[in-house]
Structure 1
Amino acid sequence: MCEMTHRLQVVAKHVLVQAPVAGKEHAVYEPGTHFGVLPEYEHKWPFAEDGPLSEKNAPPNCFPLMLEQAAQRVGKEVALAAEKPVPHVLRPGEAPSLPWEEWTKWTWKEYYDDARRLAKAFIKLGVEQFGSVTIFGFNAPEWALSAMGAMMCGGKFVGIYSTDTPEQVQYKVDHSNAAVAVVDSHAEFAATVAHIEELTCLNAIVCWGTFEPTVIKRKDGSVCKVMSFQECLEFGDSQGSDEALAQRMQAMRPGHAMGIIYTSGTTGQPKAVMIHHDAVVAQGAIGCLDNTGILEGYPARIISYLPLSHIAGSLMDLLFPVYMAYSKGLPSTVYFARHYDLKEMTLAARLQFVRPTIFLGVPRVYEKMQARMMAVAATITGVKKSLATWAKGKGLEYCRSLQAGGSGSKPFFHTIADKLVLSKARDALGLDKCKIFIAGAAPISRETLEYFGQLGMMIQNVYGMSESAGLTTLCLKDHNEFGSVGQAPSGFEVKLFKTGPNGENIEVPRAKPGLKVVPEENQGEICFRGRHIMSGYMANPRFGDEHVQDITEKNASTIDKEGWLHSGDKGYMDTNGVVRITGRYKELIIGAGGENIAPVPVEEAIKKSAPALSNVMMVGDNRKYNIALVTLLCEGATGELPGNNNLAGVALEVNPAVKTISDAIKDPVWHKYIQDAINHANNDPNVCISNAWKIQKFAIVPRDFSIQTGEFTPSLKLKRSVAEATWKELIDPLF
């Protein structure tokens, strides 16, 4: 261990300050196979000669070793904090945070020490080198500790989504070869043991929430141990071996998988994305570049509320903090939100307490904040309303001037407007100390970006996939273009291809900046290459040769022989390197005349004109024309849950006499409101470039879309095929 520590100290001396040599910041890939499928696969990659991702500027490493170095550098700082036990909601929407002295905390040294204790316990409980530990529960310090413990013993952490069914849990535990499952409450425990007879590889279940001692005996006589989290820590102390742990860590390589992110497909079983250690080293090195702005948020206060089982949450809350403490000596404290904060709309209370310096939100979260703030603003009258309108006008003017190509200058009286009004809005949200705002995982509208921008919160949109270990492009601090997904930072490659007659990649020409309508010849599939690309989709040999062959073919169709990861997203890149997404190839609607119609721009245009709508989904593939399903803003709709029948926010203003969705469905005022928005989109040539793109009819869905009801993935992406099948009886009469 001493030798490893010394190596880490040498590594830590490298600072990412050198400017890349032109033409040498990208690696040269030899044609071949650039993925693996087996759990023990060690990923290999070429290094760039220079730049932020060269071997000298971003040396490969493994996360357990980085956590060790972080503990040495910032060991006394608080790393993890949570309220335990979680207090109940006092009344709807009200759940103030506990005083800081009542939070349960781990310092960075305690974080490292407890991860070691867990790793020793996991080895004793049967987690093999290249095995795995599944983690099932809402974000918590125990989630982070278990993930680090799994990595430390040479295995992988595997997150289970809170919305997974017992059958999905069974598949992921079995497919990932999990010997240990760490779970939170009774619900997660019950879902895990529902198919315990089939989970013959599962040796132990560790519970961090309410725990009732029990022993699970299978029919074949085998036993699955059940223990509390504290018992597992003590088991590692008493039964674990430092020597065995040292051997596991010495066998660890940066190209080994550290975690598995299960993608949530609309059909078939989810694919197991293998994230290797070096992929996240590359993400950390990119995050340290000045023009990303991420370093401005460190030392950091981070609120953890997005699922850690998704790449966005795990990267921001779990992995970035370790990398920053290790490489820069910059500590962070991750504060864990309450499990009900999104459902009960009490996240604001946590934000107001934490005052985060970095805030990551999926578009749905920002949209919900916007809707609530607009509803409050609608109640203000008189002089206060005039002052607020004037101040936001100044804020919007400044926000637009900060966009790429703008002057960057403040309008007259902006400083006064900010002091009197805009700063108070940021303060009320608990985001007054936030240095960087990030949005990702799904499209976000320009309207939402400008809404927060006028308040002094410039959101940077990022784009990537689980398969690219998170971000691949982002709107840089000095080149932020609303409506785009930004540029590839130095060291990551992004190109747009069309497929040639022999299956070869043909790069499409870049478009001129600022085009309203981009020719088809400038559009293609967005593809990535670099150190951040996954090891591959994992196959489990126990599942048979056919399964291994199937996963191998899925890998080959995703990562080509030149190392390019094919995203499936359609878009274009302008001559400034700015990328915009115009659709997803699997989502394209094929019009009656063979037109390729991207639904997202049309849907966003309708929502912009009708802010009382929650979701718009265009339907028209293999149909004579297009129709739209729309959902309305309603109480309790969080993305995870569909909410109830009562309208909420600005939806109550469309027709004040109508208070429910069921009444809105029959209301002519509501029908005109929606039709006007559709007409506006249909008549905008920048949105509907021909008649084939126009929407002819619509239907109001009697409830909102949600994860629970199946229309959304866990990262709140729309499952179009599921939604279309679910609402078939609404759709078919419209054609």
Structure 2
Amino acid sequence: MNQPPSIDNRPVSLAHFFLSRVRASPDAEAYRFPAPAAPGGTAPEEAAPGDSAPGGEERWHSLTWAHTGERTAAIAAGLMSLGIRPQDRVGIAAGTRVEWILADLGVMCAGAATTTVYPTTDAEETAYILADSGSRVLFAEDAGQLAKVVRHRAELPELTAVVTFEPVAGTTAEETGGDGPEVLSLEELERRGADLLRKRPDAVEETVAKIDREDLATLIYTSGTTGRPKGVRLAHDCWSFQAQTALGLGLLSQEDLEFAWLPMAHAFGKNLLCAQIAVGYPLAVDGRLEQLPANLRLLRPTVMAAVPRVFEKIYNSLAAEARRMGGTKERIFVWAARVAREYARAAQIKGAACGEGMESGKTLVPFWLSVQHVIADRLVYAGVREVFGGRIRGCTSGSAPLAPDIGLFFCGAGIPILEGYGLTESSCGASMSLLEYRTGVAGRPLPGVEVRIADNGEILMRGPNIMRGYHHLPEKTAEVLDPDGWFHTGDLGELTEDGYLRITGRIKELIKTSGGKYVAPLEIESRLKGACPFVSNVVVVGDHRHYCTALITLDEPTLMAWARERGLTDPSYAGLCGSEEVRALVAGYVDEVNTGLQRWQTIKKFTVLPRDFDQAHGEVTPSMKVRRPQVQRSFAAEIDAMYEEARTS
């Protein structure tokens, strides 16, 4: 087992880590990204500029650490030329792309603080975040993000400049309103920075040297279910701690290649950046979720992080393909999935990593199961790994609990998914599963992080990873940060005898039936997702009601494939969701899950909805978390209908 990493004497900031990384491995590949290439980019051997992968996939380019350092310094100096000073806020409103990373690194090396804005955030909330943070410059991805600022320029008197990643037509003073911020391209900002560096070549390194570990580094606005979002203040030491922890754990090496698609505006995405800079492996960056399957085949990463919904969709697509083939191939997949789960469960003995068969001479997996596993690997699991590119060593999952059956399947197929736990307020990382793979738990607390369970079951944590408060909201800060430094997470959980953290639900989401029984909806929803390969999202309802019900959405590609196999004539997804055939299909899985629940936990009624939850209706966050209150508002009529019979009988 790994020795705990030392977090003492860590660098002051991630900017310090970055400059050290540039000096240590200047010629190594740092970032890989789809065309068009940035000026001066060099090509990795796997995907040289001008070459396309089979099937017409996009061309990819790369930056070395040295060139990344040059561009970062130019961006940092360019910000200084715009008047940005230490701890000034600089916003980034863009999807996950290499320019996001370069901008963030530039902000850090200018001693300023990044304000993150999801590109899907509407104009009104974007303006609120920029105004509340006091952001003076904004990096905007394209014309759409710029338009949000132009529309609300009167509310943003402190915003003096907008730097666009993509060319934007119509950015003269007259066309942007005449009284708005200066608009310039990223290329122009870098030119201005290069000019400043010619006069003051040490400007950036001198600025980084003056950063204090308690200085503000990042403002991330949490997407609340009601009211305005709160700005979480994360100091430089939060990210330095995460970087040092990743370095010390020894799970990653410079030989790895990670594929990054998660939103960089989210703490999870930023946390991954900390690990990558500290360890020094290349990061392939493309936030377009629709490109995920093609990118995995082309890039062949060794590690990847994702939210549970991604792993659920991959599993559902594998199961759907097996059903489509039918006959012997379908039976083989069902058998192999069962073997994978049994094998993973058998390997989960203290001291065993998933997939190990022997430990100190003691058999962890029965011989007969090992033989079946070898056969299943040749027939099925090798193909599963090819979906991830064929070189994958493992994945990390966060943001929400992963259904145990999904985790067990991938682990048994040779792709351990290490679950972690954390919140924006804990700079994402707080606990992590490491070599001792365990399904259904979120690992042990990271070295340096204290975790305890309050009398009411709430998870409390303390450590250098914890936020310094909510921006401009001292009363909200006092509600969650007590005088002793303990952060009250709002999550329910328990610590196992050997120190693993298990998440059981959210305090605010805990259901109390009218009969006085408490129900944790997360547990039921997770079981249904693991049992039913058609499910996309589930929300269990039942607070102050006689019984529990569920709103269920189905994965459209999986459902449509199933319908074609059975010759169902309704061509629409919504029509299928309302059909008796689909209701009977889902009912079988609901009944299966109910057999493992207490009577008061069982789903008495359910509704299959005609559409999935989405951001447009405010029902999911950009990181794919379901907003329960909004879901219940959107589908209030459907919920009432499930209880109407009980009220009238």
Q: TM-score range by the shorter chain?
A: 0.7 to 0.9
Superposition CA RMSD, Å: 2.7
Q: 2:265 aligns with which of 309, 312, 316?
A: 309
Distance (Å, rounded) in 2 between the aligned partners of 1:732 and 1:412: 52
Aligned counterparts, 1:221-236, within 5 A: 222-236=179-193
Distance (Å, rounded) in 2 between the aligned partners of 1:434 and 1:552: 45
Residue 308 of structure 2 is matched in structure 1 by: 363
1:716 counterpart = 2:624: yes
Aligned counterparts, 1:162-173, within 5 A: 162-173=119-130
CA distances 1:55-109 after superposition (whole Å, capped 9, x unpaired): 2xx42422222211111111111212222239xxxxxxx974334xxx3332111
Residue 238 of structure 1 is matched in structure 2 by: 195
Q: 1:664 to 1:419 in 2, by over 3 A?
A: closer
Q: 1:666 to 1:705 in 2, by over 3 A?
A: closer
Quote how far apart the aligned CAs of 1:386 are: 5.5
Residue 75 of structure 1 is matched in structure 2 by: 26
Residue 600 of structure 1 is matched in structure 2 by: 522
Residue 322 of structure 1 is matched in structure 2 by: 277
Quote how far apart the aligned CAs of 1:383 are: 5.2
Residue 423 of structure 1 is matched in structure 2 by: 382
Unaligned runs of 5+ in 1: 1-15, 21-50, 87-93, 325-330, 500-523, 540-550, 636-645
1:529 counterpart = 2:462: yes
Residue 398 of structure 1 is matched in structure 2 by: 343
Q: 2:401 aligns with which of 443, 447, 463?
A: 443
Distance (Å, rounded) in 2 between the aligned partners of 1:81 and 1:464: 28
CA distances 1:643-697 after superposition (whole Å, capped 9, x unpaired): xxx943456668845553433354333333333333333342xx33x42x33332
Q: What amino acid is aligned across from residue 52 of structure 1 in structure 2?
A: S
Q: What amino acid is aligned across from residue 245 of structure 2 in structure 1?
A: I
Secondary structure of the 1:470 match is coil
Distance (Å, rounded) in 1 between the aligned partners of 2:567 and 2:532: 13
Q: 1:386 to 1:596 in 2, by over 3 A?
A: closer
Q: What amino acid is aligned across from residue 704 of structure 1 in structure 2?
A: D
Q: 1:680 aligns with which of 589, 592, 600?
A: 592
Q: 1:597 to 1:216 in 2, by over 3 A?
A: farther
Distance (Å, rounded) in 1 between the aligned partners of 2:20 and 2:90: 24
1:276 counterpart = 2:235: yes
Quote how far apart the aligned CAs of 1:451 are: 2.3
Secondary structure of the 1:553 match is helix
Distance (Å, rounded) in 2 between the aligned partners of 1:174 and 1:242: 33
Quote how far apart the aligned CAs of 1:146 are: 0.7
Aligned counterparts, 1:557-636, within 5 A: 557-635=479-557
CA distances 1:402-439 after superposition (whole Å, capped 9, x unpaired): 22357544712544543454223312431x22222111
Quote how far apart the aligned CAs of 1:154 are: 1.3
Residue 520 of structure 1 is matched in structure 2 by: none
Quote how far apart the aligned CAs of 1:219 are: 11
Hey, which of these two has a bigger chunk of helix by percent?
2
1:107 counterpart = 2:64: yes
Secondary structure of the 1:526 match is strand
Aligned counterparts, 1:434-583, within 5 A: 434-478=392-436, 480-498=437-455, 524-539=457-472, 551-583=473-505
Quote how far apart the aligned CAs of 1:715 are: 1.5
- The answer to whether the 8 Å contact 2:260/2:305 transfers is no
Q: Percent identity?
A: 29
Secondary structure of the 2:262 match is coil
- The answer to whether the 8 Å contact 2:31/2:283 transfers is yes
Secondary structure of the 2:466 match is coil
Quote how far apart the aligned CAs of 1:311 are: 0.7
Q: What amino acid is aligned across from residue 332 of structure 1 in structure 2?
A: Y
1:175 counterpart = 2:125: no
Secondary structure of the 1:536 match is coil
- The answer to whether the 8 Å contact 1:142/1:208 transfers is yes
Quote how far apart the aligned CAs of 1:605 are: 2.7
- The answer to whether the 8 Å contact 1:81/1:336 transfers is yes
Aligned counterparts, 1:407-422, within 5 A: 407-409=363-365, 411-412=370-371, 414-422=373-381
Secondary structure of the 1:471 match is coil
Q: 2:391 aligns with which of 422, 426, 433?
A: 433
- The answer to whether the 8 Å contact 2:344/2:409 transfers is no
Quote how far apart the aligned CAs of 1:393 are: 4.9
Residue 647 of structure 2 is matched in structure 1 by: none
Residue 697 of structure 1 is matched in structure 2 by: 605
Unaligned runs of 5+ in 2: 38-53, 353-362, 644-649
- The answer to whether the 8 Å contact 2:243/2:277 transfers is no
Higher relative contact order structure (alpha carbons within 8 Å, sequence separation ≥ 6): 1
1:667 counterpart = 2:565: no
Residue 250 of structure 1 is matched in structure 2 by: 209
Residue 506 of structure 1 is matched in structure 2 by: none
Q: 1:650 to 1:447 in 2, by over 3 A?
A: farther
Q: What amino acid is aligned across from residue 302 of structure 1 in structure 2?
A: E
Q: What amino acid is aligned across from residue 97 of structure 1 in structure 2?
A: E
Distance (Å, rounded) in 2 between the aligned partners of 1:195 and 1:313: 28
Residue 48 of structure 1 is matched in structure 2 by: none
Q: 1:679 to 1:114 in 2, by over 3 A?
A: same
Secondary structure of the 1:717 match is coil
Residue 285 of structure 2 is matched in structure 1 by: 336
Distance (Å, rounded) in 2 between the aligned partners of 1:388 and 1:683: 24
Aligned counterparts, 1:166-205, within 5 A: 166-205=123-162
Distance (Å, rounded) in 1 between the aligned partners of 2:507 and 2:145: 36
CA distances 1:552-608 after superposition (whole Å, capped 9, x unpaired): 111111111121111101121121112212110011112113333211112223334
Secondary structure of the 1:66 match is helix
Secondary structure of the 1:498 match is coil
Q: How many residues align?
A: 611
Distance (Å, rounded) in 2 between the aligned partners of 1:677 and 1:378: 16
Quote how far apart the aligned CAs of 1:725 are: 0.8
CA distances 1:515-534 after superposition (whole Å, capped 9, x unpaired): xxxxxxxxx10111111111
Distance (Å, rounded) in 2 between the aligned partners of 1:587 and 1:557: 18
> TM-score when scaled to structure 1?
0.78
Distance (Å, rounded) in 1 between the aligned partners of 2:118 and 2:167: 19
Distance (Å, rounded) in 2 between the aligned partners of 1:424 and 1:121: 48
- The answer to whether the 8 Å contact 2:509/2:520 transfers is yes
Residue 324 of structure 2 is matched in structure 1 by: 379
Quote how far apart the aligned CAs of 1:394 are: 4.5
- The answer to whether the 8 Å contact 2:340/2:408 transfers is no
Secondary structure of the 1:734 match is helix
Residue 244 of structure 2 is matched in structure 1 by: 285
Q: 1:222 to 1:247 in 2, by over 3 A?
A: farther
> TM-score when scaled to structure 2?
0.88
- The answer to whether the 8 Å contact 2:398/2:421 transfers is yes
